[in-house]
Chains A and B, each alone.
Chain A
Amino acid sequence: MSHESRDSLFIEEKRRLDHRKGRLMRRSRMINSIRNFFLDHDYLEVETPQLIPAPAPETHIDAIKAEGFFLHTSPELCMKRLLAAGFPRIFQITKCFRNNERGEFHLPEFTMLEWYHSGIEYRQLMEECRELILNVSEQLGSPNKIRYRGRDCGLKSDWEKISVSRAFEKYSHLSMKDSLDKGLFDVMMATEIEIHLGTSTPTFLYDYPASHAALSRLKPGNRALAERFELYAFGLELANGFSELTDAGEQRRRFEKERISRQILGNDIYPMPEKFLQILDHMPQASGIALGLDRLAMLYTDSTKIDDVVAFTPEEL
């Protein structure tokens, strides 16, 4: 390669990273404040392997294969094994990997914050999640609101909570039931509903159909719904949490179902996570949540593309 083209490569890279420098600094502060929050709240920081023999078989989440193993798509299974073994409050900040996901808000390799809290159910976890965001916002010097792409999301007033079925009634031209029957649940969510979520305050969208929550507990009294929620701000999905399913038999049946769906779609079938299933009955009642830190960093740095909050995207390597 000639000197000129090497130089122009460097010039372009320098320009790009200069543009990102302030964002990366703020991202680092954000992650530090998250860590402080959990350490102050009596959590143990853990690291579980990224290389695992069997990812959770979920219909629409594709793992990346690596020499007989898989790169984990989330640290969920290992963290639940820790819960079962007597670690009641744990958090982890780790890279996760999902094949075929790339867009303005997606990277195939991204940073996840995941935490578990024994003895609480999903509504309490929503409160804890709110507390975390308030705390981080305060430490980043914007305690009252997040300003993103010219719009404000207020943090101090009560955060909106809306059930999935209510959101369908309010924003979609199909009901939740009809959307499920027609196989259009995700399409309606993406095209008609999400845009309305998290506009004046962050929004918790809760009570997902049981078919859309492979690892969460069903709602006592309504087995058609699962105790699962998502956190949205500015139409962007930030976090996914639920009351955890602790019934190994039920979990195995659901995994079988997910595997069949994967097979029907022509996707790879993963080995059953046997060790996880064998210890699950020992796991205490708990709630857990995964929060995408790249996206949170996008909000705190007013970035329109996920590319702007990482040092390098896969295309830049």
Chain B
Amino acid sequence: MYNASDLRKGLKLQLDGEPYIITEFQFKKPGKGQSLYRCKLKNMITGLTMDRTYRSGDTFESPDLDERTMQYLYSQENEFCFMDVENYEQTFLNEEQVGEAKNYLLDNLEVDILLFKGKAIGITLPNFVDLAVTAADPWVKGDSVAGDTKPVTVETGYELRVPPFIEEGQKITIDTRTGEYVTRVKG
């Protein structure tokens, strides 16, 4: 349980039975008046945001959230299956919940799965993943200028732009937060 005076950016609350995170926060107290806590809240399941102003005396439940390290196993019919690395329990996320993360989901990748009341609601990837290039145009030396890029496809099916010297079969590191190429994996 939280009081209004506990509110701050990053705090997670349960409102109407759903988990929210405070993404923006402002403390206001107009001339000798009551304390007001202006929050922008993001629904941790739907991603939708809303603005709310709370007052001193308001109380909040803390959401039953848990983050577990899980291994990605497989996907079928838009369901993605993950297994808890400690207790081997399996859990599923749908395509919408996985979102962009599916571009990087390779079998056995370890990710953090956010659980709300025991049910998976979100995924946090490692910041960097290494993936093999499965399709790329060949590199023609001298045919390009510095800063040029070309499109390639990696083993998850994700397409991105990389420097021209990257060839099919090589592994590259991708920043999962931006979706961009970082470097070629040596060896």
Q: Are B53 and A187 in contact (CB under 8 A)?
A: yes
Q: Are A186 and B34 in contact (CB under 8 A)?
A: yes
Report the bound CA distance from A60 to B55 in whole Å. 11
Q: Are A187 and B36 in contact (CB under 8 A)?
A: yes
Q: Are A190 and B56 in contact (CB under 8 A)?
A: no
Distance from A258 Cβ to chain B, minimum over Cβ atoms (Å): 11
Q: Are A190 and B36 in contact (CB under 8 A)?
A: yes
Chain B residues in the interface with A (C-beta under 8 A): 5, 26-36, 38, 53, 55-57
- Nearest chain-B residue to A191 (Cβ)? B53
Top 5 A-B pairs, shortest CB-CB distance: A103-B27, A186-B33, A189-B30, A190-B28, A60-B34
Check if A106 is an interface residue, CB within 8 A of chain B: yes
Distance from A264 Cβ to chain B, minimum over Cβ atoms (Å): 10
> 4 other contacts beyond A58-B32, A100-B5, A106-B27, with CB at 8 A cut-off?
A105-B27, A194-B30, A230-B31, A240-B31
Report the bound CA distance from A237 to B29 in whole Å. 9
Q: Are A190 and B57 in contact (CB under 8 A)?
A: no
19 contacts between A and B (CB under 8 A): A60-B29, A60-B32, A60-B33, A100-B5, A100-B35, A101-B27, A101-B35, A185-B33, A186-B36, A186-B55, A187-B55, A190-B28, A190-B36, A190-B53, A191-B53, A194-B30, A212-B31, A212-B32, A212-B33
Q: Are A189 and B26 in contact (CB under 8 A)?
A: no
Report the bound CA distance from A60 to B57 in whole Å. 11
Interface centre among A102, A103, A194, A237 (most CB of B within 10 A): A103
Report A-chain residues with C-beta under 8 Å of the C-beta of B56.
60, 100, 265
Per-position 1/0 for A179-210, Cβ under 8 A of B: 00000011101110010000000000000100
Q: Are B36 and A104 in contact (CB under 8 A)?
A: no
Report A-chain residues with C-beta under 8 Å of the C-beta of B30.
186, 189-190, 194, 237
Report B-chain residues with C-beta under 8 Å of the C-beta of A208.
31
Report the bound CA distance from A212 to B34 in whole Å. 11
Per-position 1/0 for A196-232, Cβ under 8 A of B: 0000000000001000111000000000000000100
Report B-chain residues with C-beta under 8 Å of the C-beta of A265.
56-57
Distance from A161 Cβ to chain B, minimum over Cβ atoms (Å): 16
Report B-chain residues with C-beta under 8 Å of the C-beta of A191.
36, 38, 53
Report the bound CA distance from A190 to B33 in whole Å. 10
